[in-house]
Amino acid sequence: MYARLLKRPFELGQSFFLFGPRGTGKTTWLREHFGSRSNLFVDLLDGDLYTELLARPHRLETLIGTAHPDWVILDEIQRVPALLNEVHRLIEGRGLRFAMTGSSARSLRRKGVNLLAGRALSFQMHPLTASELGQDFDLERALRFGQLPSVIGHKAPSEFLASYVQTYLREEVQQEGLARNLANFARFLETASFSQGAPLNVAHVAREAALDRKVVENYFGILDDLLIGYRLPVFTKRAQRRMVAHPKFYFFDAGVYRTIRPMGPLDSPAEAEGAGLETILLQELRAVNDALGLDYEPFYWRTSDGTEVDFVLYGPRGMLAFEIKRSNRYTRSDLTGLRAFNKDYPMARCYLLYGGSTPREEEGVLVRPIDQALPGLASLLQGS
């Protein structure tokens, strides 16, 4: 078990939601920090308990009884959204504190349920980071299999990931009634994987998948709702150049992406690995930012003439820009996007992460080895 960076929920001591895709370690984290006998753990994956509370949400108070547990944990709250009205009442009436996990706040909002109007904080769990893995972090393995906790150390990671993807199709999509035709949705997923790390062209994906554009728009919405897809917007604040308009698309974990993306004689391994490397950096940036509450907003930067920076973080702590290259050497052309960005935003700290071993600074760009930068990302984002 790895110590996670996320500490704020139990430090702040207020009722909270912990959202994240399946398999990111939400339940494990809750049991580690809230598993004492003074707390009540309600597992909504328990069939009998689920059926009882689905039919009679008010039975939650009976389950709690007259005792006053330190915390009431509701695991997989999206399975019985009506419980949130009871949670609201028990917070107000009895001063109870709740810790609740779910696959997506957006999914719950679409169902029109009560999200407690500020009475519960909201946090997000991501795949493991390089700093959490410590000496077990292996970039080559991360590029192929990602960093879901159950993948690390698994004897058959490919088989696990294949099962994981199918579980999402079966349990999350089918049971929620989100997609009527799972064969169409599976074909869409494969097609969408070729958009990984690229500006998203929904019309192109629809053509390649032989689906109606509105259907594809809905499918991307499903990925957003389940937190297994992420659309990265373009950074346009005080833009001095003409910018592209489309967001970039990413699956949330490099291993999930590589599992969904088909590979054959006509597919480029280098292209897939390049998108996978960007995915690793993005999932690390998002995880550290969310875990530490740094309040950066992530973007990418791309001008109409194709000059690009992979990732931009913008927030109260400042502005950071990142390019990442797998090669153990870099050329001056690899700095082009960062130099252009730095010219427009001279207050930004600009980083090129590469596969070499020597840190240096060139033309205002801080060049850092990947295997040093990723484990130290928390300090880097905090400016220390």
Model pLDDT, residue 13 = 84
Contacts of residue 176, Cβ cutoff 8 Å, sequence gap at least 6 = 107
The amino acid at 346:
P
Question: If you compute the radius of gyration of the chain from its CA atoms, what whole number of angstroms results?
Answer: 22
Model pLDDT, residue 383 = 81
- Give the Cα separation of 45 and 266 in Å (integer): 42
H/E element, 208: helix 202-209
Domains of the chain: 8-124 (3.40.50.300), 130-381 (no CATH)
CB neighbour class for 95 (10 Å; exposed up to 12, middle 13-18, buried from 19): exposed
Dig out the tokens for 373 from the structure: 């930068």
Model pLDDT, residue 358 = 93
φ and ψ of 56, to 5 deg: -140, 80
- Give the Cα separation of 104 and 24 in Å (integer): 13
3-state SS, 212-250, equals CHHHHHHHHHHHHHCCCEEEECECCCCCCCCECCCCEEE
Dig out the tokens for 1 from the structure: 């078990």
- Give the Cα separation of 249 and 188 in Å (integer): 14
Model pLDDT, residue 107 = 63
CB neighbour class for 54 (10 Å; exposed up to 12, middle 13-18, buried from 19): middle
Model pLDDT, residue 59 = 92
Contacts of residue 315, Cβ cutoff 8 Å, sequence gap at least 6 = 294, 295, 296, 297
Model pLDDT, residue 82 = 86
- State how far the alpha carbon of 338 is from the alpha carbons of 58, 201, 240, 301, 349, in Å: 56, 25, 15, 10, 10
Model pLDDT, residue 26 = 93
Instruction: Give me the average pLDDT of each 10-residue run along the chain (384 residues).
Output: 89 90 92 85 89 93 86 89 89 91 72 66 94 95 95 93 86 68 88 95 96 93 89 94 94 96 69 90 97 96 96 97 94 94 96 95 94 94 82
Read off the pTM. Answer: 0.93
The amino acid at 1:
M
Nearest to 277 by CA among 203, 360, 374, 345: 374
Strand partners, 319: 314
Q: Are 144 and 263 in contact (CB under 8 A)?
A: no
User: What DSSP designation does 357 have?
Assistant: S
Model pLDDT, residue 67 = 78
